[in-house]
Structure 1
Amino acid sequence: MPRIAYVNGRYVAHVEASVHIEDRGFQFADGVYEVCEVARGFIVDMPRHLGRLKRSLKELSIAWPVSEGVLPMLLREVVRRNRVVNGLVYVQVTRGVASRDFVFPAGTKSALVITARKADPAAAAKRVETGIKVITVPENRWDRVDIKSTGLLPNVLAKQKAKEAGAQEAWFVDADGTVKEGGSSNAWIVTRDGVLVTRPAEHGILRGITRTTLFDVAARLGLKIEE
C-alpha cells in the first residue's frame, strides 16, 4: 500500500508530495515540528505534543495553519490512511511561501505537512534490553533549543559523528562539562543510589514529552529525580 501525506490541505501520494521552492522552512528552517509515537493505533501523548507545538509557534510568531481543534483530526486521519498501528506521525508547520527575505513576510499563510510511517516495536524493545552507545560532543547550538525548530544542522552533525564512532546517540556537553541533552533525546543518568538525574528544563534543553511523562511515572513509583 502506498504511503499518503497531507500537504497544505490535500492528501497526496507520499512519493508525489512536495512543497514550494520558496517555502521559508526550506530556505530558512523557519518552522517547527513534532514527532508523536503511534502505539496500537493510538497517538501517544498527543495533547502534550500539540501543547508544545502551540508554544513553539507562539515563540516564533507563526500562525496556526488550521484551527487547533482540526489538527488532531488530521493527524489521526494520516495515521489511518497509512494503516500505521505502531510507528510515528510527523507534523511540520512553516511560516509559508514568500519571496526570499529575512524579515517576516506579510499576508502569507502558514504551511502544514503531516506524514506517518510504520515502525517495529520489537526493535525498540531490543534497544531497551541491550542499551545503546553514546558519545559526547561540544554544545554548538543556538540558545533557544527549547523551541522545537526545524533548524537541526548541529543535531545532524552530532548524530553523524555518533554513527561514525559506532554509537547511536550524541550528548551535547556545555563549556563547564555538564551534559545537556542528546541529538534526538533528553539525557538521563541513574546514580548508584537509584536517583534519576537530568538537566533542568529551561532554555538549555527541549522539554521532552517522554521526559515529562517520566516525571509523572517517577512520582507514582516514589523514585527521586534530581535536576
Structure 2
Amino acid sequence: MTPIAPDLSPITLVLQADPVVQGVMALLLLASLACWAIIIEKAVTLRGLARQARLLAEERPDAAPPAGEGLAAATLRAGQAEWREGRDPAETAGEFRGRLEHAMRAAIAATLRQAEPGLPLLATIGSVSPFVGLFGTVWGIMHSFAGIAARQDTSLATVAPGIAEALFATAIGLVAAIPATIAYNRCTTRLHRIRQEALAAAGALALRLSRRPARLAAAAE
C-alpha cells in the first residue's frame, strides 16, 4: 500500500502550525500588507513631489504661486513674502538673497517632511521581519522535535510537515522584508533627489528675486 504524502500546501502549513508560529505568520502578513500600503502611498506622493519640483524650476519669480499647498506653491509663496518685506538698508545684496533662499528652503523642508512618515516603518519591517520569521522557524522546529520524541518516530513523513511549517515562517518573513528594504532605499533616494532639485530651483529663484528692486514689491501685491 502506497503511503499518503503529507499535504504541504501553504494553507495547510498555516492551519496545522503551532499557535506561536501561527501568531508569527499573522504578524508578518500584517507587516507585509502595511509595507505594500506604504509603498503605494509613497509612489503617488513622490511622483507628485517630483512634478512639483520640476514646476518650481520653471516658475518666474514674479509669477502668482500655483494654487494649492504643493511644493512649488509653498516655496514660491515663502520667497515672495520675504521679498515683499523689502531689503533692509543695512543688508547687503548677498544677505538679502540668503534671506530669500532661507525662507524657501524652510518651505521645502516643511513640505518634504510631510512625505517622510511611513519610511521608518519600512526600514523597521525590512530589518526586523527576517528575525521574526527566524524566531517562528526555531520555535516550530523545537515543537516538531518535541513531537518526534513523543511519537518515537523519526521517519521523513513524520518530520517533514513540522519542518515545513517552521521554514514557512522564514519564507513569509523574507516576503515582508525584501520589498520593504527595496522600497525604503528607492524612496529615500528619490526623496533626496527631489530635495536637491527643489533646493537648486529655490536658489535660482532667490537670485532672480534679489535682483528685482525692492520698491517694486508694492506693485506686485
Normalised by the size of structure 1, how large is the TM-score?
Answer: 0.20
* Bigger Cα Rg: 2
Query: When the two structures are superposed, what TM-score results if normalisation uses the length of structure 2?
Result: 0.21
Question: Which structure is higher in helix share?
Answer: 2
Q: Pick 1 or 2: higher relative contact order, CA cutoff 8 A, min separation 6.
A: 2
